[in-house]
Amino acid sequence: MTQRDSAVALIRPKTLSGYQEMFGYIYGKVNKKYSDDALFRRLGEEISKLMEIARKDYRRDFLAQLPRIYSWWNAFASRKRIVLQEALWHKYPGVCGHCLREQNCTCGVEHPDISKEEKESILRRLRRDHANREPFSISDHQSLHARLYKQQNARIMPIQIAAHVSEEWGEISEEDRHGNWSGICNEMADVASWIFALATRLEISVEGAVWNLYPYECEKCHKDVCECKGVV
């Protein structure tokens, strides 16, 4: 009996949470070799490679690098016991988490005058009122963020969007250093938002690219449970 004949259904996930479970299945064992800090640094390394690709404008390389970042983003989230579906909906309940617009956010050129308390009150209501509109697949999440930010991001270069991914990684580091778990959740959601933004700008399907590189197997050893020697 092969691993793929086992009781675990190794089929393409349909939801963002399903992909988080998939990455846990593939890499959960090997990732135990990493400390929390080392795991976070691996995410940073992949984001640095994204910056290099963006600087050199190697458009084809984004197809593989975005999924690699997505994989390590999932790994760090699982280590921190963050349910990514919940983190994304908490920050983006059908609206921009900053200006609260339902489409065509203008935060890049305007600074919304909304107090922190007022914003959180509105977001709590929207999480409840928009519950029947919550996206669950990666593609649906990307579509939501395209509705919110595509128009704004169309005017900037891919390297500028990639820089935002790097900036958010730094903000996760700050929140983690201060032990602010809710802050880490918010910044993790922002990383995803900018990943979606960059993919949309480059006309890449994040879900398609992730599945192409990780079809329920490690990209290097091609085992459904990674058996790479050392750390990947």
- What pLDDT sits at residue 106? 84
Q: Residue 146 half-sphere exposure, CB side, CA atoms within 13 Å?
A: 16
Q: What are phi and psi of 223, to 5 degrees?
A: -95, 145
- What pLDDT sits at residue 5? 45
Q: What percent of the chain has pLDDT over 70?
A: 94
pTM of the model: 0.92
Which tens digits make up the pLDDT trace of 132-179?
Answer: 999 999 999 999 999 999 999 999 999 999 999 999 999 999 999 999
CB 164 within 8 A of CB 174: no
Alpha-carbon distance of 60 to 105, in angstroms, equals: 28
Residues of the chain with pLDDT under 70: 1-8, 108-111, 230-232
96-133: b or e for each residue (b if 16 or more CB lie within 10 Å)?
bbbbbbeeebeeeeeeeeeeeeeeeeebeebbeeeeee
How is residue 97 written in tokens? 């988490």
- What pLDDT sits at residue 8? 62
Alpha-carbon distance of 87 to 188, in angstroms, equals: 8
- What pLDDT sits at residue 37? 96
